[in-house]
């Protein structure tokens, strides 16, 4: 195959060509160069072990009877520099037909990132299976496919990928250890040689005399060891010089002790909210909230805390609202109302598959369905109940929104935008209000709650929950901070 680009002026430029190689490696070498082939490792066919089968909920008997899959292909080494910065060289096939199996692509990259988290692998993977187990008539471009025994397929690919990359990583580690051991032994011999070369004779205890004014001179005799001449070293030592060095070192330590480490530089300004939030994300971890000292309440609306030398001000209403909102998001199961007649959903085959796999998430959001596995694709799901909550109404558009979110993050708890708006309103009404006096116990509880949620920096309505006030060391040292 030869691909040529011909310009308007008649010039012809060869873009890519193959030489009819008999193997895939030969063709990869023609297109991407021999350097790419050197880093590739072949996939090895291996059945998943008992632990892997349990992880995917597959019985051992069914795994043996369903051994209808063959893996063919290669993946690049996990050594740093052998991967790619993007996924531009990943090729997946089913029965030699190019396709884009989303779950397989995600799994291969996730396993590779366990060994090399900064790069993506070169992948050529051809899945061979019976034609009856594959449905290619899902999308017009035939890139999306449905496969039977998908869990077994996923487990097989994962265990083969893990075994191959683990073996290579162990070889890399072994070679590094060998080089380090060799270096250590050679350096040890060098040190031993130096020690043998320098023999210092010490006088008897009754012959030692120290003169504080006059420096003592240590001289090493000039001898030859194994034909090598030893250097003569003269070293002057006196008690006064030692005292001066100790005094200088103490002065340097006391000076370094008073140097202030400034972590927060952004002013409290609505125009600089994003920069202030980035500083907090970088410097404050979840476990630090429990270590904060409660200093008191300011203006019946803010909590002042201290962490080391830094003072922080926390909005008592915004932080309580954020915590209540996250708890509602996580734990609330919406009540629903049954439909008199089940409603048909006009879903594509892909969206229908996503809905079936994430049915428990839809149930938590108040939607119930009847699923007929024997029906034709796009006609297997019917809506039987919709969520209700006072004046809030939900329907088909909320299902479409959930499907869109679950397409990129399957099995992740999520809520439609209107449900989040309802939870934000409820969280606001049940939270601690501005103007409410708080005891030290109440303030401690609110601050500890911030360490229990992943993103405590803003309330659901966008109001910041905390900001840095000042560093006490700057005040004690009389220094000013230039922003």
Q: 39-168: which CATH architecture?
A: 2-Layer Sandwich (3.30)
Q: Encoding tokens for residue 452? A: 């229990």
CA-angle at 454, arms to 324 and 458, nearest 5°: 60
What's the distance, Cα to Cα, between the start and end of the chain in Å?
61
DSSP single-letter state for residue 120: B
Q: What is the mean pLDDT of residues 302-329?
A: 92
- Per the prediction, the chain carries an average pLDDT of 80
CA distance 383 to 343: 5
Q: Which residues contact 479 (CB under 8 A, 6 or more apart)?
A: 260
- Write the pLDDT tens digit of every residue in 348-376: 888 899 999 999 999 988 899 999 888 88
Q: What is the mean pLDDT of residues 108-131?
A: 88
pLDDT confidence tier of residue 203, bands split at 50, 70 and 90: very low
Per domain, the residue ranges of the chain are 39-168, 271-483
Q: What is the mean pLDDT of residues 69-95?
A: 87
Beta-ladder partners of 335: none
Pick the most confident of 107-116, 224-233, 432-441.
Answer: 432-441
Residue 201 pLDDT > 80, yes or no? no
CA distance 457 to 281: 8
Strands 134-135 and 146-147: antiparallel
Q: What is the mean pLDDT of residues 126-144?
A: 85
CA distance 182 to 175: 11
- Write the pLDDT tens digit of every residue in 253-290: 665 555 567 788 888 888 888 888 888 988 899 899 99
Do 39-168 and 271-483 agree at the fold level? no
Q: What is the pLDDT of residue 321?
A: 94
Q: How is domain 271-483 classified at the CATH fold level?
A: formyl-coa transferase, domain 3 (3.30.1540)
Q: What is the pLDDT of residue 113?
A: 86
| pTM score | 0.47
Q: What is the pLDDT of residue 232?
A: 58
Percent of the chain clearing pLDDT 70 (strictly above): 79
CB 30 within 8 A of CB 79: no
Beta-ladder partners of 13: 5
- Write the pLDDT tens digit of every residue in 373-413: 888 888 899 999 998 887 777 888 899 999 998 988 888 88
**CA-to-CA dists, residue 269 to 17, 310, 319, angstroms:** 59, 18, 19
CA distance 92 to 43: 13
CA distance 323 to 453: 7
Q: What is the pLDDT of residue 192?
A: 47
Q: Other CB atoms closer than 10 Å to residue 257's CB: what's the count?
A: 7
Where does residue 308 rank: exposed (0-12), middle (13-18), buried (19+ CB within 10 A)? middle
Q: What is the mean pLDDT of residues 35-57?
A: 79
- Give the sign of the dihedral formed by CA 96, CA 102, CA 107, CA 112: positive
pLDDT higher at 139 or 162? 139
How far is CA 116 from its chain centroid?
Answer: 12
pLDDT higher at 220 or 37? 37
Picking from 462, 472, 455, 453, the residue whose alpha carbon sits closest to that of residue 304 is 472
pLDDT confidence tier of residue 205, bands split at 50, 70 and 90: very low
CA distance 314 to 312: 7
């Amino acid at each position: 195959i030869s691909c040529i680009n011909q310009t308007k002026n008649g010039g012809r430029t060869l873009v890519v060509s193959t030489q009819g190689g008999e193997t895939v490696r030969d063709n990869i070498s023609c297109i991407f160069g021999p350097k790419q082939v050197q880093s590739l490792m072949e996939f090895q066919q291996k059945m998943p072990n008992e632990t892997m089968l349990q992880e995917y909920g597959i019985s051992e008997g069914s795994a043996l009877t369903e051994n209808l899959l063959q893996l063919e292909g290669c993946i690049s080494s996990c050594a740093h520099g052998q991967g790619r910065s993007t996924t531009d060289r990943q090729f997946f096939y089913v029965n030699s037909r190019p396709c884009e199996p989303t779950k397989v692509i995600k799994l291969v990259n996730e396993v590779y990132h366990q060994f090399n988290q900064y790069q993506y692998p070169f992948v050529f993977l051809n899945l061979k299976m019976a034609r009856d187990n594959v449905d290619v008539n899902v999308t017009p471009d035939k890139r999306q496919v449905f496969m039977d025994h998908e869990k077994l397929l996923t487990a097989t690919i994962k265990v083969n990928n893990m075994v191959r990359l683990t073996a290579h990583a162990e070889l890399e580690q072994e070679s590094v250890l060998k080089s380090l051991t060799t270096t250590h032994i050679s350096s040890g011999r060098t040190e031993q040689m130096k020690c043998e070369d320098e023999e210092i004779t010490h006088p008897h205890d009754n012959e030692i005399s120290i003169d504080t004014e006059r420096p003592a001179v240590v001289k090493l005799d000039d001898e030859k060891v194994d034909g090598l001449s030893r250097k003569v070293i003269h070293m002057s030592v006196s008690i006064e010089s030692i005292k001066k060095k100790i005094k200088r070192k103490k002065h340097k330590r006391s000076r370094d002790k008073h140097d202030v480490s400034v972590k927060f530089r952004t002013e409290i300004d609505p125009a600089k909210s994003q920069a202030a939030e980035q500083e907090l994300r970088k410097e404050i971890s979840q476990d630090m909230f429990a270590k904060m000292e409660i200093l008191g309440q300011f203006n019946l609306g803010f909590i002042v805390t201290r962490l080391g030398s830094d003072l922080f001000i926390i909005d008592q209403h915004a932080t309580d609202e954020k915590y209540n909102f996250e708890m509602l998001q996580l734990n609330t199961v919406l009540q629903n109302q049954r439909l008199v007649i089940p409603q048909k959903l006009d879903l594509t085959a892909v969206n229908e598959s996503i809905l079936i796999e994430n049915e428990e998430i839809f149930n938590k959001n108040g939607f119930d369905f009847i699923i007929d596995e024997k029906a034709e694709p796009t006609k297997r799901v019917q809506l039987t109940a919709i969520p209700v909550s006072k004046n809030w109404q939900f329907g088909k558009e909320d299902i479409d929104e959930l499907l869109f979110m679950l397409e990129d993050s399957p099995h992740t708890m999520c809520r439609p935008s209107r449900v989040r708006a309802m939870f934000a309103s409820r969280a606001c009404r049940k939270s601690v209000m501005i103007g409410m006096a708080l005891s030290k116990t109440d303030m401690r509880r609110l601050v500890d709650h911030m360490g229990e949620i992943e993103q405590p920096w803003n309330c659901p309505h966008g109001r910041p929950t905390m900001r840095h006030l000042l560093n006490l060391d700057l005040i004690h040292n009389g220094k000013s901070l230039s922003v």
